[in-house]
Amino acid sequence: MTEIMTDEPARADAGRSGDRRGLVVVLLAVLLALLLVGHRVIPNVHGLGSLVDSASPLLGLGVPLLALAALLRRSRRALLAVLLPTIAWGLLHGGAWLPPATGGGPTGIRVASQNLRAGNPDPGATLTPLVEAGADLIGLQEVDGGGPAAPGLRERYPHRAAVSTVALWSRYPIRDSTGVDTGLGWTRALRAVVATPRGDLVVYVAHLGSARAGDTATRDDSLRSLARTVRADRADRLVVLGDLNTATTDRVFRPLTDLLRDAQADAGQGFGFTWPSPVPLTRPDHVLYRGLTPTTAGVLRTPDSDHRAVTAGFRW
């Protein structure tokens, strides 16, 4: 009697083995999804929660890696599990890549902010892309000495206000300016009233305290201090330009976003990362506003600085 042999048991064993191997991917996918949706509940002990908040957009890089692992293991269960962090990331951060809800139309004033980098060998060259982009107001941080010097730059921006290492360069008259205390022990922010052709615009230029892994207290205190100052400011139209050393996804940023809108979120597309300049991984540089309508927002790569510049256009 001839015995008929089949490979069905072997295929079944292979399928069960593939599913077992895929369990690791399933677990990692679930953990990544939980981290994405629950990063705000991580205690901000020694700045840990703040760090995870700031990195949350980058957690999406784990999705293609998990998908590749699932394919290599030929596990349909693992592939389905990868949908969990994919959906979570899309709901949290995918909107940044959609066409902006606002924007377009005539632009009344263009603003920009640039951290020049202390010791910059040619700050004038750093600012050239902003000048060419038509910025009317440029907020500067880490300004050395008398500030950038380049042919025609001071003629194009004849009105300037400066305090310590921050400055505002303007095409329009600056009627008033004063230093702003952000609790750093030295003044690293200013408030100016710019007389634009459409009316007065209050502009803050700020460079908040540094944030490092395990040490964000100084940054946190300076951000809350700036938020208190902005809250007390009664100006109808107001813009904050600067290196705030805080990502928009960081829970610590909330005191400012409760008061002001983010031009990149409203009129830009993408995350608008600015630091470090060669391969930016986060966005410490911002244009925040109230009392205006944003028409454009973006990022410019500039030479000789470790930060890219941020730009925005507004209409009254």
Q: What is the DSSP string of 133-193?
A: TT-SEEEEES--TT----TTHHHHS-EEEEETTEEEEESS-EEEEEE---SSSS--EEEEE
Per-residue pLDDT of the chain (316 residues; tens, 9 = 90+): 455 555 555 555 555 555 566 899 999 999 999 999 999 999 999 889 999 999 999 999 999 999 999 999 999 999 999 999 999 999 999 999 999 877 677 889 999 999 999 999 999 899 999 999 999 999 999 998 656 655 568 889 999 999 999 999 999 999 999 999 999 999 999 999 999 999 999 999 999 999 887 889 999 999 999 999 999 999 999 999 999 999 999 999 999 999 999 999 999 999 999 999 999 999 999 999 999 999 999 999 999 999 999 999 999 9
Q: In Å, how far from its chain's centre is CA 297?
A: 12
Burial of 161 (0-12, 13-18, 19+ CB in 10 A): buried
Query: Helix, strand, or coil here: 94?
Result: helix
Torsion of CA 263, 266, 271, 277, to 10 degrees: -20
**Closest Cα to residue 138, out of 170, 93, 165?**
170
The pTM assigned to this predicted structure is 0.91
Q: What is the DSSP string of 111-147?
A: EEEEE--TT-S-HHHHHHHHHHTT-SEEEEES--TT-
Instruction: For residue 107, count other CB atoms closer than 10 A to its CB.
Output: 17
Q: What residues contact residue 303 under an 8 Å CB cut-off, 6+ apart? A: 122, 125, 126
Whole-angstrom CA distances from 200 to 95, 173, 204, 228, 242 are 33, 10, 13, 22, 20
State the pLDDT at residue 46.
87
Q: Please state, in angstroms and rounded to a whole number, the distance separating the CA atoms of residues 253 and 220.
A: 9
Give me 98's structure tokens: 């959609």
Residue owning tokens 């022990």: 185
Q: Please state, in angstroms and rounded to a whole number, the distance separating the CA atoms of residues 83 and 29.
A: 8
